[in-house]
Chain A
Amino acid sequence: DTAVSQTPKYLVTQMGNDKSIKCEQNLGHDTMYWYKQDSKKFLKIMFSYNNKELIINETVPNRFSPKSPDKAHLNLHINSLELGDSAVYFCASSLTSVYTDTQYFGPGTRLTVL
């Protein structure tokens, strides 16, 4: 059973479109994250939710809107996509929001904006 799953794995779209990426974890964790890994391979936190509540929002444009319907799901909706949004987006989860907790990452969603 996959611990952290994301859909879709690949997403190719035109500039200006709106798209969503879904994430689900079956680990019973309280905390979930969205990371962006750009072409230079830096992995940067975007958002963190703890028990459906937003706890971290790292200076991300408000075109990005996370939604957590329950603590097992954290979806990412992106409006008006731009070329610079092309990257791999990783979802992750941890038992709690304490940073010593191991983070479990999903397989990533490669977003290409044309």
Chain B
Amino acid sequence: SQKIEQNSEALNIQEGKTATLTCNYTNYSPAYLQWYRQDPGRGPVFLLLIRENEKEKRKERLKVTFDTTLKQSLFHITASQPADSATYLCALDPNSGNTPLVFGKGTRLSVIA
């Protein structure tokens, strides 16, 4: 069956460290993958998109990698800050006709000062 899984429900890290979040998928062949941030009581906010032919994408302190062999995307936040605390969702394009984005359940990141 098709699945998209994010490594853990919750991740706690110390301020200043690098947070690494994992998104694994099974039985999909996405042409691209997106990462969103969701704060409590708010809608998701788009962060980054990475295409299948891109190994890495960066935006300020954020870095995303996409390994189509491992069927995995990693999302890194360097020099993390308490303001980075939120739930991070990965979403992929199933790459089959008109099927819309499929979202993972998210990882709730807490950055502790």
Chain A residues near B (Cβ < 8 Å): 4, 33, 40-45, 48, 55-56, 58, 90, 92, 99-100, 102-108
Residue pair A108, B101 in contact (C-beta under 8 Å):
no
Which chain A residue shows the least CB distance to B108?
Answer: A41
The answer to whether residues A108 and B46 also contact, given A43-B89, A55-B98, A56-B98 and a CB cut-off of 8 A, is no
Residue pair A45, B101 in contact (C-beta under 8 Å):
yes
Contacts of B41 in A (CB 8 A): 107-108
Q: Which residue from B45, B49, B106 sits with its C-beta under 8 Å from A100?
A: B49
Which label, helix, strand, loop or mixed, suits the secondary structure of the B interface?
Answer: loop
Query: Considering the chains assembled together, what is the distance between the CA atoms of A65 and B15 in angstroms?
Result: 46
Number of chain B residues whose Cβ lies closer than 8 Å to a Cβ of chain A:
18
The answer to whether residues A44 and B103 also contact, given A56-B98, A99-B93 and a CB cut-off of 8 A, is yes
Q: Can you list 30 A-B contacts with CB-CB less than 8 angstroms, sorted by A residue number?
A: A4-B43, A40-B105, A41-B106, A42-B103, A42-B105, A43-B44, A43-B89, A43-B103, A45-B101, A55-B98, A56-B98, A56-B100, A58-B100, A90-B43, A90-B44, A99-B32, A99-B101, A100-B49, A100-B51, A100-B93, A102-B46, A103-B44, A104-B46, A105-B45, A106-B43, A107-B41, A107-B42, A107-B43, A108-B42, A108-B43
Contacts of A105 in B (CB 8 A): 43-45
Query: Considering the chains assembled together, what is the distance between the CA atoms of A105 and B49 in angstroms?
Result: 16
Q: Which residue from B49, B87, B89 sits with its C-beta under 8 Å from A102?
A: B49
Which chain A residue shows the least CB distance to B93?
Answer: A99
Contact code string B96-113 (vs A, CB < 8 Å = 1, else 0): 001011010110000000
